[in-house]
């Protein structure tokens, strides 16, 4: 389960950008995700996801949700803008 989730994550730089977009533009609508917690979980997911243990599935669901929502706001960070 964890290995499949890890391989489906985008490159770290893309994940950081999408998380930035989420917390800059969408956080007001999704206030249940805290920046510090999310950044820590994202770091663990990229470095040693096996330490997530029993919470791996729910953690990856939250990570993917944040990245998906961040995608919807990514255009606001465009320099062409």
Give the pLDDT score at 46.
93
49 alpha-carbon distance from chain centroid: 14
At residue 1, the pLDDT reads 56
- Token pair, residue 41, equals 């979980």
Tokens 């800059």 belong to 24
Report the candidate in 74, 75, 81 with the shortest Cα–Cα distance to residue 22. Answer: 74
Give the separation between CA 50 and CA 20, rounded to whole angstroms. Answer: 25
Given the structure tokens 């890890």, which residue do they identify? 6
pTM, rounded to two decimals: 0.87
Written as tens digits, the pLDDT of the chain (81 aa) is 566 677 789 999 999 999 999 999 998 888 788 999 999 999 999 998 888 888 888 999 999 999 999 999 999 997 655
pLDDT confidence of residue 51 = 85
């Amino acid at each position: 389960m964890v290995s499949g989730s890890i391989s489906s994550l985008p490159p770290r730089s893309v994940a950081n950008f999408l998380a930035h977009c989420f917390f800059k533009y969408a956080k007001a609508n999704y206030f249940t995700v805290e920046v510090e917690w999310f950044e820590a979980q994202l770091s663990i997911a990229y470095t040693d996801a096996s330490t997530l243990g029993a919470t791996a599935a729910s953690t990856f669901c939250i990570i993917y949700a944040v990245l998906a929502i961040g995608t919807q706001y990514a255009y606001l960070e465009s320099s062409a803008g």
